[in-house]
A = this chain, B = another copy of it.
Amino acid sequence: MLNGNQGRGTAEPDDGHDAVRHVCPLNEVLDRVSGKWAIGVLTLVGAEEVARFTELERGIPGISRRMLTLTLRNLERDGLLTRTVYATVPPRTEYRLTEAARELAHTLSLLTDWAKRHQSHVQASRLDYDDSL
């Protein structure tokens, strides 16, 4: 902890090169859920129980196919969701949260609570700060 050089999350595959990582567990989690789309994907798959690619694409306005794929792959790699491919024509792929991801989602909801409790404080603080410039 407090080791410095904590890598931030990325949607691109992670080589794990950054030698001084993997030390603070908290940054580890944050790496997993950071990235512009991870939370949205996690939340939607969780809400649907089981989700298909195009369904996610439609459910998350603004996401590109590339980013959806990248985000899904990273979450799968980290064991947060499973990917099941049916070799039919047309193909069908199903995504589901793992139990670990469901527990994570629960913990994250506590963070959401914090955000709701303090959102006016944060907003006011920003206005103050920006005005004082």
Contacts and interface: CB of A to CB of B under 8 A. Distances in A.
Interface of A: 1-9, 20, 24-30, 32-37, 39-40, 43-44, 47, 59-63, 76-79, 100, 103-104, 107-119, 121-122, 124-126, 129-130
A interface SS class? helix
A6 to B, nearest CB: 6
Contacts of A28: 115, 119, 122
Given A29-B114, A111-B26, A36 B77 contact: no
Contacts of A39: 6, 24, 26-27, 30
A127 B132 CA distance: 50
Contacts of A37: 6
Count of chain copies: 2
A99 to B, nearest CB: 9
10 contacts: A3-B61, A5-B61, A6-B37, A25-B116, A28-B119, A30-B33, A77-B130, A104-B118, A107-B113, A108-B111
Nearest to A31: B34
B29 A111 contact: yes
A110 B4 CA distance: 21
A122 B79 contact: yes
